Amino acid sequence: MAVSAAALLGIIGLLCGASVVAGEGEGDKWAVLVAGSSGFWNYRHQADVCHAHQILKAAGFPDDRVIVMRYDDIAQNALNPMPGVVVNRAGCLPTERDASTGEWDVREGCNVEVGCGRDYYGAAVSPESFINVLRGDVSAQRLFCEKINSDPTRFGGCEPKVLNSTARDRVFVAFFDHGGTHMLGFPPAWKYGAMRYVTAKDLRVAMEHMRSVDLYGELVLYIEACESGSMFNDILPQNVSAFAVTAADPFHSSYASDCGLRLGGVTMPCLGDLFSVNWMRDVTRPGHMKYETLEEDFDIVEEQTNLSQVCAYGDESMASEQISSYLEYPTKPAGPRRAALRRHSSPRSGAAVPSLEAADAFLAASAIPELREELLARKRLREVAEANLAELAAVLDVPQARGLHDIHDKSICHKKPDPSFADGAAGDDFFDCLRSTIDRFQDVCGILTAEDLTRSSSVFSRLCAARTASQIERAMG
């Protein structure tokens, strides 16, 4: 894993002033698991999050140390041919029906919906609630949940469950959804409403707050999203004992996995995401969680995630720690490792599809009128938004992005966009511009679906790197 000069300085500082956790013995452990999408065509994100929860439960995590956010519109969805069942890999799709009930006979251990939490669901899966969880802001979250829980017009609910960790604790955050340049997506407040999102600045500020109020000793983040490297590249603060692994570099798509499979006469949506299924498969292999380090997990997953460039950011001194330090509760003595861990091939069925194409591919393959209408509605929204965004970029004379075709090259993880935003106060101006521009665009120019936000995010980023927020707003009228 390549380390930038700034990261090396951060590591040196940490080595000289020893980690809080390492110096005081092992504290507690917490996990935050987020699926930031909705809709049956985005099945894979909630399958990922429930699979991750199953892994933590099997490793001993109590429910009060895991916070789960998912829309929860998959298992009982009318489009689901296995009501109440969610699977995360092709090998779990059943091939036979139960003779007595006629229901699909799902193999034991395959239904990740069983026991999957939903501390926040429906409309409660939002940028605001995610940031409140990370900040440990129970007062703000209590008000948020009271508002959501008292609104009969919206599906959703929550309890004000937030991180209550300390400076001795390890915190693991896993996020599964669509993303784009410097942003992670969240479901709209209503169907065909404006896409909601968290920017890299939002996440950075939340992490800085977590550090300042001693909400963790060490923090590990695994992010499944397109262009997810852009959330941390030249942004993740140094000397904050945080290590982030992303499904993709700052410029390219991540990939959905196990796509296009049929169950009976029904085409299923993509069941998982390539990066996430790979890391979850790796940590559950015999001996891997116990003996494998974060760096070894990275190397294996990077090799198997062969369609996007997996990247790592932040304090790489943490990469030498065992996976069990974050994913096992409590960490049990492992004893000496007797042999090298075996590397397994990554068996795959079905197609791997760029994440931003997965929903349309599923909708296009369906003969169900409701889904064909959904596809047409999405195309209409896209056409309007793309035309208006192209016109805006032309009016402001913003240059096109430079081509970046070498996906499998670790150096791309730390490559700066061109044009690039500045650091410091100018960097904050850039992110403020990014938010105001996207919000204004969705108000007056066209609503963006999750996939369209991914497609257009690099354009919005170039706009704000080259022009001021006021210039852009005037051009939109």
- Which residues carry out catalysis? 178, 226
Instruction: Give the whole-angstrom CA distance, residue 69 versus residue 61.
Output: 16
Instruction: Give the whole-angstrom CA distance, residue 253 versus residue 305.
Output: 12
User: Left if phi > 0, otherwise alpha if psi is -120 to 50, otherwise beta: which for 33?
Assistant: beta
Q: Are 188 and 194 in contact (CB under 8 A)?
A: yes
Instruction: Give the whole-angstrom CA distance, residue 314 versus residue 301.
Output: 18
Position 267, amino acid? T
Comparing CA positions, the residue from 88, 52, 30 lying closest to residue 289 is 52
Q: Are 291 and 322 in contact (CB under 8 A)?
A: yes
User: Left if phi > 0, otherwise alpha if psi is -120 to 50, otherwise beta: which for 415?
Assistant: beta
Give the count of beta carbons closer than 10 Å to the beta carbon of residue 20.
18
Q: At what angle do helices 369-395 and 469-476 cross, to 10 degrees?
A: 120
Q: Are 430 and 464 in contact (CB under 8 A)?
A: yes
State yes or no: cis peptide before 399, omega within 30 of 0.
Answer: no
Q: Are 311 and 246 in contact (CB under 8 A)?
A: yes
